[in-house]
Structure 1
C-alpha cells in the first residue's frame, strides 16, 4: 500500500507540492488569527468539587474581575495626592461596568504600605460583563488610574495578567520559531550537504504548522483553544516534521546509492514503502500518547491533545506526501553522501560511522557494566523528583518586567496585610449551625482570618477563610482537606486557588493509571506490529519512562530549586506548573518513541536479513541498524533540541519548562538511552529480544517478505 502511495506521489508530485503550497499560504494568511480567538481555559473539569463550589457561589453572590493599582512615590498623606486619588476614584465609580471602588481616602478600606509611600486601589467590575467587555472596561479604568498625580503607578489584576500572558505567548512563539528555524536551516544544510536538501525538512515543517494553525482557527469557532496550547503544538509540529523528513531523505539516498540505475519512480516507491512505514507507525505512536491526555478529563489538556493530534496527523501527511514529492522533484540537488555514512558500509567499517554507532559499539563490548551505569545515572537524575512541588501557574509565571507581575509582587511585599485570594467556604444549614461551623473554622490550625459574608438567603452561609502562608501553598492545601472533612450538619463546599490545586492534583492522580494504560498499550501494540516481538516493546516503554523520570528530576532542580535560573533568565517560584509533567510525559514519550521506531524498524530489517540462533547475529543486526539510522536520529535530535532551546528564549516560565524539559529529554534519550542502554540491553538479551508467544527464542523464523524502514 505504501509503495503504491509512493508511486502515486511521484506521478502527481507537482500537484502534491502545489496543494501543500496553497494550504501553507492559506495558513499563513488566515491561521495567524487563531491567536485572536484563543482564550483562557479552566484547568478543572466541570464536576470538580472546587468548580461545583464556585458555580454555587457565582449563583448566590457573583463577583466581578478586579483591577488593582499601587500608587507609589510620595507621602500618602500629601494633600495633592489625596485630592487626585479622590477625584479619579469618583470618576471610576461613575463608569459603566464598574461595580465598586475601594481606596484609602473615599472608602472604608485603608491600605497603606509599611513605609508610608504607597497606597492600594481596588476596582471591582460588573460580574455580568463578558470577557471582551470586561477587558474594555479594565482598559478605561487603567487609563484613569494612570492620571493620578503620583510618580509611580502600577496597574494589574488577574484579568490584565491573563491578557499579558496571551500576548507574551504570541511574542515568545514568534521569537522562538524564528530563531529555531534559522538555526535548524543552517544545521540541516551543513549535515545534508546542500542548501536545497537542508530546506526540504523545513518546508515540511512550515507546511505542517501552517496547516495546523489553519485547522485550529476553524476549530476555535466551535471549541476553546488556549494560546499556551498553540505554542506547545508548534514545538511538536516542527520536531516531528523535521524528523520524518530526515528519515525519508536518508532512505532515498540509500536506495539511490544501492541501485543507481533504478527509475526515479521506483526509488520513490521503495523509500515510501520502507521509511514511510516507520513514519506511519511513529505518527500513530505519538497520537496514542496524545490520546492519553483526554483520559485526564481536563479541558486544558483536552484542548492541547486536540491540537497535538492535528499537528501529528499533518506532520505524518507531509512526511508521506510532501517530502517524497519534494525529493523526487529536487533529487539532483540532494548530495549522495553528505555528512552520513555511505550505504553499503558494514558495521566493521566504522571509520565514518556516526556518534550513535560508536556509542553502541562501546556498549556492546561491555553490555552489563554499561547498562548498569547508564540506568544508575538516569535514576540519580530522577532523585530530585521525590521533592517535587506542583502548583497552578499564576502571575509569577510572567516575566519580571510585566506590569501585572510587578503589581502583584509590590502588593505582597510592601503591604503589612496584603490582600490574597482566600478559600471560600459555603454551607447550607440553619443559622445556629452555621454560626457554630464558622466558629470552629476560625479555630482551625492554618487559618489566619475568617470573614463571614452577609446579605445571603436564609440558611446559606459563606465565609472567606484566609490561610496562613501562600494562597495555594502546602498549608493552604492541607486546610482544604480539613475544611471538607469537618463534621458539619451539611456538606462543606470549598472554592479558591488552593481548592482548585487540590482537586487538580487529585484528578491527575486518579486518572493517571488510565492514561498510562492507554499510552503503554497502544504504543506496545504498534511496536509489536513493527517488530513481531513482545520483549522489545516492553523494554522500549520502560526505557522511555526512565528517560522521563530523569528529565523531571532535572526540571525540579532547575525550576523549583533554581539551579541555573540566572543563566536561563527567570526567577524560580518554588514549584513546577501542574500541567508540565503531563505535557512533558506525552510529548517526550511521543518523540522518544519516534526515535525508537526509527531505530527498531531498521534493526528489525537487519535481523530479518541475518537472523539465527547465534548471539552474534543479534549484535550485528543491532549495530548495523544503529549505524544506518543513527545519523538520522542524531541529526533529528540536534534539530529538535535547537527548536526547544529556541523557546527557552521566551519569557513565560511555563513555556521555558517545556522547552528545557524537551531539550533535556531528547539529549538523554539520544545519548544515554539510544546510544548506550538500547544496544547494551539488546546484547544482554540476545535472541530473546525477538521472542513472542508461540515462537521458540532459539529457533530462527523465516524472514518477512517486506522490509521495514
Structure 2
C-alpha cells in the first residue's frame, strides 16, 4: 500500500514546513473565531420531519383552509377571575395589544366569546394571534412587545409562552449550554492533558488542535447555513464531537512520537515525525474515515435535522482528521523539546483486564455478553420515544410552565387532538366511524372552514404521544373513505417520524456496516474482525440505550420519555467512536502481532483518549436541555462500557477463543490486501499472529 509512504512524506513535510503549516491553521482559526460566530445569527429551527410526511402535508393544508399567524399565550392566575380591578386591568392591556402593529387579534375571558377559565377557577387564558408572514426579526419584536404588555397585568402570576417563544427559549438555552459546556470542557481538558502528558506545553498541543478544529468547523457551519437549516442542537453536538476527536488523534500522535524518539533518540525530529505519521497517522486516517462513514449514515435518514447533523458531523470529522495529520505534527516539531519522555511503562487498565480475559476467555465472554444484554432490556422492552417540546426546557423556563399549566388547567390533562383534514364534506358514516374507533374520546369539527372541506379534532384517550394516540392515528389512516384524508397533529408527527426512521434504518445500517467493514479489512486483512467489531459495537449501543431509559425515562425526565432523535444519534456516535477505539487497538495488535502486547502499547492511549472525550460529553450535562443531556450522558456511558468491559474484556476474550481465525480471509481477498494494503515493512502473514506476553 502506498499510503504509509505518502503519510510518511506528509509527516516529514509538516515537520520541515512547520511554520507555514501552523501559519495556515492560525489564519483559519482566526477566521473561524472572527467569522464563525455568525453561525449563531443564522441558526433556525430544523424540521424534524421531511416535507412530504403526511402530518406535514396536513399542516400545510390546514394553513390553506384556516390561515393563522403565530400565537402568544398567557395564563393569568392568583386572583378571582371576576375581580373588577383584574377585569379592568386585563381589558385595558388587551385593548392596547389589539392596537399594536403586527397583532391580528386577541381573545380573552372578558372581551371575546369562548373565553377560558382554569380548573382552579382562579386563572384565565389570553390568546394573542400575530399577523401572518412577518419576517422573523419583526415577529420577534412584536412577540417581545406583546409579552411585555401581558406581564404588566396586575396579577400574582402572569406566564407568557407559545410555540415561537418556546423555540426562541430553546435556541437561547442551547447557545448558553454550548458556551458553558465547551468552556468547562476546555478547562478540565487542559488539566487532564497536563497530568496525562506530564507538562503544560505537551498538554496544550491536543487542546490547540481541538480549538482549531472547532473554530474552523464554526466557519464551515456558516457556509452550511446557506445550503440547509442548521439548529442550535446541531452546533452543540458537532462542536463537542470535534473537541473529542481532535484530542483523541493528538494523543495518539504524541504517544507514538514519544515511542519513536525513545527508540531512536539521535534521529532528526523530521524523521521521527515521518515514522509517527506513517504508523499512528495511518490509524488516525482510517479512524477518521470510519467515524466519517458513521456520520454519512445519518444521510440515509430523510429528516432535515438528521441531514444537517450528518453534514456538520462529516465536516468536523474531516477537520479533526486533517488537524491530527498536519497541525499536530507541526506543533510537535515546534514543541518537541518540551514534550517529556513517557513514564516508565507499566501495565495499564486494558492490559490487566486482557490478562484476566485471556486466562478464562469463555466465561469472560459469556459473562460480559450476558451483562450487556441485561443492561439493554429496559430499552428493548419498554422505551417510550417522544418528540421534544417545551418540556425539554428547564423547569424554570416560562415557556415550559405555560405549556404545563395549559395542559393541566385548561385541557383537563387530555391529549392534544389528532387533526383530520378532509377534502370533502364528511358524511355521517365517516364521522360515526371515527367516533367508534378504540381510544377516541370525542370528535369535533372546527368552525369557519370553507365549504367542501373539513378539519376535525379527534381527542384520544391517554397522553398526546402515548400508545393509544398513536394507535388512533394509524386507525384513522387505515380507514378507506371515498375522499382524501390527511392526519396531522403531534401524535401523527411522532408516528411519521418513527415510521420514517424504522423504514430507513436498514439503509443507514448498511451504509455504516459496509463502510466500516471495508475500512477494518484494509486495516487488518481479515473479514472476521469487522464482523466481531460490529457485533461488539451493537452490544455497547444497546446497553447504553438501556441505561439511558432507566435514568431519563424512569428517572429524571419530566415527560417519562426519551427524545425520539436520541437513539438515532447515539447509534451513529457510538458506532463511530467505538470504531475509533477499535482502530486504535487493532492497528497496534496487528503491528505487535500479539493481542496483549497490542493492548499494552495502545491501551494507555485509548484510556486517556476515552477519559478526555468522556469529559467533553459530560459537559453536555451541565446544560439544561433534556435532549442534549441525553446525548451527553449516553455517550459517557458508552465510552465507559466500551473502554472497560468491551475492549478490555470482551475483545481479548473473543480473540483468544478464535485464535488464528481472527485473521481469516478468503484467499483472493488476502492476496488483494497483501498487494495493496499491507506495508512492506510491517507485513504480517495471516495466521501467524501469536499471543506472547506483553512487554511491560
Q: Name the TM-score class by shorter chain.
A: over 0.9
Deviation digits for residues 88-122 of structure 1 (CA, Å, limit 9, x no counterpart): 12222222222221111111123222322211111
Q: CA deviation at 1:708?
A: 9.2
- 1:484·1:491 contact (CA, 8 Å) conserved in 2? no
Q: Look up the match of 2:576.
A: 590
What are the within-5 Å matches in structure 2 for residues 256-275 of structure 1?
A: 256-275=261-280
Q: Look up the match of 1:617.
A: none
Q: Look up the match of 1:414.
A: 409
Compared CA separation, residues 548 and 423, structure 1 to 2 (3 A): same
Q: CA deviation at 1:404?
A: 0.5
- 1:274·1:708 contact (CA, 8 Å) conserved in 2? no
Q: How many residues align?
A: 673
Does 2:648 correspond to 1:680?
A: no
Does 2:365 correspond to 1:379?
A: no
Q: CA deviation at 1:670?
A: 0.1
Q: CA deviation at 1:417?
A: 3.8
- 1:112·1:118 contact (CA, 8 Å) conserved in 2? yes
Deviates more, 1:592-601 or 1:22-31: 22-31
Q: Look up the match of 2:468.
A: 475
- 2:32·2:218 contact (CA, 8 Å) conserved in 1? yes
Pick the aligned partner of 2:359 from 358, 365, 368: 365
Q: CA deviation at 1:689?
A: 0.5
Does 2:166 correspond to 1:191?
A: no
Deviation digits for residues 207-246 of structure 1 (CA, Å, limit 9, x no counterpart): 0000000111122133211110000001210110010000
Q: Look up the match of 2:565.
A: 579
What are the within-5 Å matches in structure 2 for residues 320-335 of structure 1?
A: 320-335=325-340
What are the within-5 Å matches in structure 2 for residues 448-487 of structure 1?
A: 448-487=441-480
**Structure 1: gaps of 5 or more residues:** 343-351, 566-570, 608-620
Distance in 2 between residues matched to 1:520 and 1:470, nearest whole Å: 37
Pick the aligned partner of 2:554 from 541, 545, 561: 561
Q: Look up the match of 2:400.
A: 405
Q: CA deviation at 1:74?
A: 1.3
Deviates more, 1:439-448 or 1:119-128: 439-448
- 1:520·1:541 contact (CA, 8 Å) conserved in 2? yes
Q: Look up the match of 2:664.
A: 691
Q: Look up the match of 1:347.
A: none
- 1:66·1:125 contact (CA, 8 Å) conserved in 2? yes
TM-score by length of 1: 0.92
What are the within-5 Å matches in structure 2 for residues 474-513 of structure 1?
A: 474-513=467-506
Q: CA deviation at 1:704?
A: 4.6
Does 2:508 correspond to 1:515?
A: yes
Distance in 2 between residues matched to 1:416 and 1:592, nearest whole Å: 46
- 2:414·2:463 contact (CA, 8 Å) conserved in 1? no
Does 2:598 correspond to 1:605?
A: no
Distance in 1 between residues matched to 2:78 and 2:39, nearest whole Å: 41
Paired residue secondary structure (1:330): helix
Deviation digits for residues 155-205 of structure 1 (CA, Å, limit 9, x no counterpart): 011110000000000111111111111111111101111111111111100
Q: Look up the match of 2:256.
A: 251
Deviates more, 1:403-412 or 1:578-587: 403-412
Deviation digits for residues 356-401 of structure 1 (CA, Å, limit 9, x no counterpart): 1111111111111111111111111001012101111011000011
Deviation digits for residues 559-611 of structure 1 (CA, Å, limit 9, x no counterpart): 1011xx3xxxxx4311101110111111111111000000001111112xxxx
Q: Look up the match of 1:51.
A: 56
Compared CA separation, residues 151 and 451, structure 1 to 2 (3 A): same
Distance in 1 between residues matched to 2:67 and 2:466, nearest whole Å: 26
Distance in 1 between residues matched to 2:38 and 2:466, nearest whole Å: 37
Paired residue secondary structure (1:490): coil
Compared CA separation, residues 414 and 61, structure 1 to 2 (3 A): closer
Q: CA deviation at 1:696?
A: 12
Pick the aligned partner of 1:138 from 139, 143, 158: 143
Distance in 1 between residues matched to 2:637 and 2:89, nearest whole Å: 53
